[in-house]
């Protein structure tokens, strides 16, 4: 059902009471009253300090740089791989995102995340093909179709039309890059 959201129907949402374990996931009740020494106060044996003074200093410096979460909070996970955005990558992302923003807004947050990840993978694959000047219409349209198929309930005609339009734009971009590359290497 397009447009269904549980917020519109409050009587369908069930309220589950939180148990004490769910209220405090950081420290179980059993360990709350236990006073453990701070990591800095746990001593390093003198023989280790004498043998490896540089390692002790480096470890202390690293521990000082690590941000500590506030009580009851956690540090958000960093992305597994930070992708450096080149001008070509940004242009590819713009090409793929064109005319898909409305569809993206209609997706649920979970579907949006899957669609975004699939889009990033598609951009990476196409960028690799383009940098090697091996992007063919068949390969690019296959990658774009696979990405657009992650949209639930996608219209087949929309999928074909968008994949062909985006493929044409990607191939024009590759031709432009080839011309630039040829001019610089004469």
In the prediction, which pLDDT does 184 show? 87
CA quadruple 161, 167, 168, 169: dihedral sign: positive
Q: Tell me which of 68-82, 93-107, 131-145, 153-167 is least confident.
A: 68-82
pTM metric for this prediction? 0.55
Average pLDDT, the chain: 74
pLDDT at 120 over 60: yes
Report the sign of the C-alpha dihedral through residues 159, 140, 94, 128, in that order.
positive
């Amino acid at each position: 059902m397009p447009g269904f959201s549980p917020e519109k129907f409050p009587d369908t949402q069930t309220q589950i009471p939180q148990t004490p374990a769910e209220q405090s996931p950081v420290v179980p009740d059993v360990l709350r009253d236990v006073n453990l020494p701070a990591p800095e106060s746990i001593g390093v044996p003198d023989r280790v300090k004498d043998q490896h003074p540089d390692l002790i200093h480096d470890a202390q410096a690293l521990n000082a740089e690590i941000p500590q979460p506030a009580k009851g909070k956690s540090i958000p996970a960093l992305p597994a791989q930070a992708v450096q955005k080149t001008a070509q990558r940004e242009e590819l992302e713009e090409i793929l995102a064109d005319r898909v923003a409305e569809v993206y807004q209609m997706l649920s947050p979970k579907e949006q995340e899957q669609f975004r990840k699939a889009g990033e993978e598609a951009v990476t694959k196409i960028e690799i093909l383009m940098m090697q000047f091996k992007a063919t219409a068949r390969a690019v349209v296959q990658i774009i179709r696979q990405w657009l198929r992650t949209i639930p309930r996608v219209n087949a005609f929309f999928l074909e039309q968008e994949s062909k339009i985006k493929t044409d734009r990607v191939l024009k971009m590759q031709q432009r890059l080839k011309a630039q590359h040829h001019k610089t290497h004469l």
